[in-house]
Amino acid sequence: MKISGARLVVQALEDEGVRYTFGIPGTHNIELYDALADSSVEPVLVTDERSASFLVDGFARSSQSVGVLNVVPGAGVTHAMSGIAEAFMDNVPMVVLACGIRSDTGAAYQLHAIDQCAVLRPVTKAVFQATNLSDVYPMVRRAFELARQPTPGPVVVEIPANLYMLVQQAPEIQWEGEPEYNLEADGDLVEAAAKMLVDAEHPALYVGAGCRSAADGLVHLAERLGAPVATTVSGKGVFPEHHPLWLWNGIGNQAPQFVQKIMDNCDCLLAIGCRFSEVATGSYGIDPPEQLIHVDSEPEVFNRNYKAALTVPADAASFVEALLEVIDGECPWPELATSIRQGHAEVSRARDAVKGTDRVSPFHLFSTLQRVCSEDVVFTADSGNGTFLAMEYLRLNRPGCFLAPVDFSCMGYSVPAAIGAAFADREREVVALAGDGAFLMTGIELLTAAENDIGLVVCVLRDGKLGQIAQFQKIPMNRETCSKLPDYSVEQLARGVGCRYFRAVRDHELVGVLTAALDVSRLQTPVVVEVAIDYSQKTFFTRGVVKTNFWRLPWGDRLRMLGRAAKRRL
């Protein structure tokens, strides 16, 4: 029997249980798209490969499955690079079917001919190149396996166009796969960590997205230790944020005073599934105790930014389970819980006191969203104020409900990521939080949602600026340069791509507008809500990052910047 590489790819996708691929067909991979048309895998047409990569990212993060990106050589790959790099930096499992140019002609200067594998290697876990038909099936299956394994990330399979197109004698398909990868915690290291934690007077937990598999165990561990729990931005929801021991998304200068005060007493910090990245630490604005225990499935992250007293290479779930077996009893924590509760209440009172007059206050936007949305709603945020507002205002009780571009921080992420999350589960509510600058980049992808009867709500946070950049400019420089957006009609753009449109200008309008928007989205219709947002109150994150970086400057530069700001104010 003879077969094409396209048919082998489809067979591999079907055997992996893939439901969708996302991309745009081109001359090089039309045979693959033709084969997909006769399969159980649905190819979804998007408007732009960059959006496709964000869409695949959102699909993967919300569903805990591997997303599949299907792109043409050259421009298709380079357009998608932003989302591939985001997935690499944020550890999102993704398989990229990067079609290659023909490898059988020997001709130079072919259409789309660049060394795309060299371009992709720095932002992927691995790049596989098929040279003959027998490579195709096992390479695709291996790509899925590797994308899932800790630490997850994007894996590329480049298949030359001629292997898609030409029919050859079918190779014998052999695929056994590797045993499930699980980095078990070393018993001696677990015992050492347990001793450090039990001996500490004020232990604390700091957990990232790598703890998603350990979410249930983290609650028991925190309660046994009587320890407050902070998460990274990416780890939001890994620990239930209505639990009395939940502290904040972040520690150090980027957190409120009550969080800093509690963490100042910490004499042993257990960090699991995190890398102490720049965003997570508020520009490295944290000061962990000497007794730092760092647990991660990727040993390369140890001691990169903060020296640890003990490092434990292990899967988070394995480590937490093993630690619970050696830590008995439960430390009393009512006094700590009271301090945390009072701290959160003080922050809420201060926010509630900021009443919107001619604009919507963030506190009322996010509190209303949580009131009218279901508990398992997925929120997607965008690079900038949207991410940090959502991080600080939303209270989430499970992982996979907050999708944001964190360590690569791509603008334009939220809308296509929300569409991807909605594809993953059409019954689940999805709300995108897009800045008006980010909406200009990828808002047109809502055409894909409308075409595929995908219901979701996109809140366009409208302030007419690149909001966070304008704040970063205003604080030290006392002026804003090139951060004001040209005016445009959100309504016309929304209606032009098949969406319903609503608008909220004041706080009291939110309940009615958002309830109506969600009702329409449940009818499998995408909805855009233009929100006149008030950014006058800076997030804790923004204030913390500015403070951290200012005090890191040499004295001469501090005085120069202060003098410049004062002069311009006068």
**pLDDT digit string, tens, across residues 16-68:** 999 999 999 998 899 999 999 999 999 999 999 999 999 999 999 999 899 99
pLDDT at 385 over 90: no
CATH 3.40.50.1220 positions along the chain are 187-340
Q: Closest Cα partner for 421 from 53, 62, 21, 48?
A: 62
| Encoded tokens for 381 | 């945020």
247: its two tokens = 């502290």
What is the pLDDT, as a whole number, of residue 533?
A: 93
Pull the structure tokens for residue 439: 């909406």
Q: What integer pLDDT is reported at residue 236 of this predicted model?
A: 97
pTM confidence score: 0.94
Element (H, E) at 271: strand 268-272
pLDDT for 466? 66
Instruction: Give the helix/strand (H/E) hosting 462.
Output: strand 457-462
Percent of the chain at pLDDT exceeding 90:
76
Q: With 70 as the cut, is the pLDDT of residue 178 above it?
A: yes
Give the Cα separation of 259 and 252 in Å (integer).
Answer: 8
Pick the CATH number of 2-169 from 3.40.30.10, 3.40.50.300, 3.30.470.20, 3.40.50.970: 3.40.50.970
User: What's the rounded Cα separation, in Å, for the pair 119 and 127?
Assistant: 10
The predicted model gives 187-210 an average pLDDT of: 96
Q: What is the pLDDT of residue 483?
A: 67
The answer to whether the Cα torsion of 485, 503, 44, 65 is positive or negative is positive
The separation between the first and the last C-alpha atoms of the chain, rounded to the nearest angstrom, is 83
- The model's confidence at residue 568, banded by pLDDT at 50, 70 and 90, is confident
Q: Is the confidence at residue 514, as pLDDT, over 90? A: yes
Least confident of 49-63, 414-428, 466-480, 542-556: 466-480
Mean pLDDT of 62-90: 96
Question: Which pLDDT belongs to residue 549?
Answer: 87
CATH superfamily assigned to domain 354-543: Thiamin diphosphate (ThDP)-binding fold, Pyr/PP domains (3.40.50.970)
89 — pLDDT class (breaks 50, 70, 90): very high
Using the CB atoms, write b or e for 147-175: b if 16+ within 10 Å.
Answer: bbbbbbbbbbbbbbbbbbbbeeeeeeeee
The pLDDT value given to residue 86 = 97
Q: Over the stretch 234-274, which tens digit does the pLDDT of each residue have?
A: 999 999 999 999 999 999 999 999 999 999 999 999 999 99
> Phi/psi at 195 (nearest 5 deg)?
-65, -45
554: helix, coil or strand?
A: coil
86 contacts: CB under 8 Å, gap ≥ 6: 53, 54, 57, 92, 405, 408, 410, 413
Average pLDDT value for the chain: 92
Per-residue confidence band for 356, with pLDDT thresholds at 50, 70 and 90: low
Q: Is the pLDDT of residue 72 over 70?
A: yes
Distance CA 179, CA 185 (A): 17
Task: Identify the CATH homologous superfamily for domain 187-340.
Answer: TPP-binding domain (3.40.50.1220)
Which pLDDT value is given to residue 369? Answer: 97
Q: What is the pLDDT of residues 283-304, one digit of tens each?
A: 999 999 999 999 999 999 999 9
Confidence of residue 482 (pLDDT cuts 50, 70, 90): confident
Q: Which residues in the chain are classed under CATH 3.40.50.970?
A: 2-169, 354-543
Instruction: Tell me the pLDDT band of 467, cut-offs 50, 70 and 90.
Output: low
Whether residue 3 has pLDDT greater than 80: yes
